[in-house]
Every structure is written in C-alpha cells, then in structure tokens.
Amino acid sequence: MRRLIALPALLLAFAPACLLAQTEAKAPDRSTPEATVRTFVDAFNRFDLDALVACVAGAKKNAMLEEMGKNTGGMPELAISAIEVKADGDNATAKVKLDPEKLKAPADAKFVAEETVKLKRTGGAWQIVPMELVELMKLMGPSANSQQAYPVLTMMASMFVRFEEMMAQGAAEARAGAAAPGKPDCMSNVKQLCLAAMMCAADFNDLYAFSPTNLKARLMPYSRDAKLFACPNARGAPAAYSMNPAVAAKKMSKIVHPERLVLFYEGSKGKLAYRHKGKATVGFCDGHVEQVTPKRAAALRWKP
C-alpha cells in the first residue's frame, strides 16, 4: 500500500510541483505520434491541464490535481533527447529518451532512461494510451520495489485516467484487510489510517482537515473501523496512535518530500512507543509505513 494509498511519493514530490498556474492556452499539436508526446511533455512542464487531457486517451480533469496546481512552487521539468516512432495504421509506439542533463527533479526521483509510449489515432488525432489499472498497480502497489525506476511519461498520463479507480481499489483493499480473519497487524492499521487521511484530504481541497483533537471523529467516515486506532500490542490503550500536529491544516501538495515527513506514529506527545521488539510503527505523508528503531527515530522529520 506504500504507493497506492495516495499518489505515489514520486508523483507527490515531482508531478504536483509542476502544477503551476496555467499559461495562455494553445491548441495542442496531436498531428503525429511524436507531436503528441512532445506536446504532452511541454504541457506537463507548464501544467496546461487542457492540453494534458487532450493528449491522453480517456483522460479527464482531476479536481485534486487542479487544486494542487494552485498551491505549489518550483518547476521540475522533463526534457526529451530523442524519439523513435513506429506506426502501424492507427496504432504507434514511441521510444522516448529523456535528457538527464536538462531534467529538473528531486534528487531521489528515479526514471527509466528510455521508455516506450503507446499511442493510438482517433478522429485524425494521436493520443497516449494509458496503462491498464492492473499494470499501474504492479508499479505502485505494495509489492513494488521502492528503488525501481519509473516510466514517468506513461505513469503520469495514466494517472489522469486511473486516479479515481486507484483510490477506489485502495480503499476496497484496505477495508478488506481490516475485515480479514487472523491477528490484527499494527502496520496494517497505520497504513489504513494513512489512506483514510488521504481520502479525507481529497474531500477537503487537498487539506489535512483534522488535528490531534478531532482525528478519530474526522477519519472514521473513511476508515469505518474504530479498531484501527488501537495497536494489538497496546494492551487496552484506547488510542495507540497519534498524528503529527505539525501536519494539521497543511496542504498535501505543499509538503516537500512527503515520504520523509511523519503523519502518524505509535505513541503520544511526540514520544514513540516501541511495542514491537524494540520498534515503533510510523506512517508517513506519502502513505508508506515503517517500524523504526530508536536510532532510526532520531532521524525522523517532524516539521513540514
């Protein structure tokens, strides 16, 4: 669930940072497969949402991404060094190489050096074909390798189509996990709280619209299980987890490196409870969860 419960850390740290106020619109060039890919990259860099949507088959505007675009600074950029197109009727593939020297992105962002983008022609115009949900889930789901490189063009294009499906499936999987028989799991509880927090923020225009005082009441409509707030090892503690108060009322898209910032932690008043063989469970703003030792805890980031 590390990548699934929100946008992946990569896309939270990279894509939303380029969602800037739209510049003067121009008609997107989709006359050839190469033109469509170049138009998509240009629109991505300056966040022309209309052009982005026009370049992707089945895409539509996403209110959450639009809201993020109003609250960001900085401008990561993609730059293409080469494109090789092979067309067969109304279908085509484009091998796209990014220029690493011109790429502006977070230092820990990893992209494949060359990716193959699928396109199709409809009504005389070419569009990028997004990944199927199952493909996207393999890259962003719990079994994905956190060190892997991403096909950023196809993934970003797919997010404009699959975002709502991913959120719905993530919620369904979390609820199924909560209902599954067997011993409750602390990490699973915190993962599901992270998902609930992201879903809540999506309903409040990208805002973490809760605080330590109203956390349970605000997240219950999304988590739907009061047991998630208690660690199985807490021995009767009514609420084993706390939220980082520094995150309250903050915009998700304003957080730089959400994969490093604590959102929930096992314990209270800023002190971790090491209930799991000397480790405590911590959930981060990108949605991933770790069980940390006191040494690892000393390096945790608490301020946005």
For residue 140, the domain's CATH number is 3.10.450
Q: Are residues 67 and 209 in the same domain?
A: no
Q: Is residue 28 part of a domain?
A: yes
CA dihedral 187, 16, 52, 203 (to 10 degrees): 60
Q: Is residue 212 part of a domain?
A: yes
Q: Are residues 48 and 156 in the same domain?
A: yes
pLDDT over 60 at 181, yes or no: no
pLDDT over 70 at 12, yes or no: no
pLDDT of residue 170: 59
Rounded Cα–Cα distance for residues 180 and 174 (Å): 10
Q: Is residue 177 part of a domain?
A: no
pTM equals 0.57
Q: Are residues 36 and 142 in the same domain?
A: yes
pLDDT over 50 at 19, yes or no: no
Q: Are residues 156 and 15 in the same domain?
A: yes
Q: Is residue 171 part of a domain?
A: no
Average pLDDT over residues 204-215: 88
Q: Is residue 166 part of a domain?
A: no
Tokens 């911590």, located at residue: 282
Q: Are residues 20 and 138 in the same domain?
A: yes
Average pLDDT, the chain: 78
Domain of 256 in residue numbering reads as: 182-297
Q: Is residue 203 part of a domain?
A: yes
Q: Are residues 43 and 124 in the same domain?
A: yes
Number of domains composing the chain: 2
Q: Are residues 243 and 188 in the same domain?
A: yes
pLDDT over 90 at 35, yes or no: yes
Query: Which of 161, 192, 222 represents a domain boundary (last residue)?
Result: 161
Specify the pairing of strand 262-268 against strand 241-243.
antiparallel
Q: Are residues 133 and 40 in the same domain?
A: yes
Q: Are residues 202 and 255 in the same domain?
A: yes
Average pLDDT over residues 36-42: 94
Residues 6+ apart with CB under 8 A from 286: 2, 3, 6, 8, 9, 12, 13, 258, 259
pLDDT digits (tens, 9 = 90+) for 95-128: 999 887 777 665 556 677 889 999 999 999 999 9
Task: Specify the higher pLDDT residue, 73 or 260.
Answer: 260
Average pLDDT over residues 63-89: 72
Q: Is residue 22 part of a domain?
A: yes
pLDDT of residue 39: 95
Would you say 275 and 293 are in contact if contact means Cβ atoms under 8 Å apart?
no
pLDDT digits (tens, 9 = 90+) for 243-295: 999 999 998 878 888 888 999 999 888 899 898 889 999 999 988 899 999 99
Q: Are residues 156 and 197 in the same domain?
A: no
250-224-61 Cα angle (round to 5): 50
pLDDT over 90 at 185, yes or no: no
Q: Which two tokens stand for residue 20?
A: 């800037």
Q: Are residues 206 and 127 in the same domain?
A: no
Q: Are residues 143 and 196 in the same domain?
A: no
Q: Is residue 304 part of a domain?
A: no
> Of the spans 42-46, 142-146, 208-212, which averages the highest pLDDT?
208-212
Task: Specify the higher pLDDT residue, 233 or 246.
Answer: 246
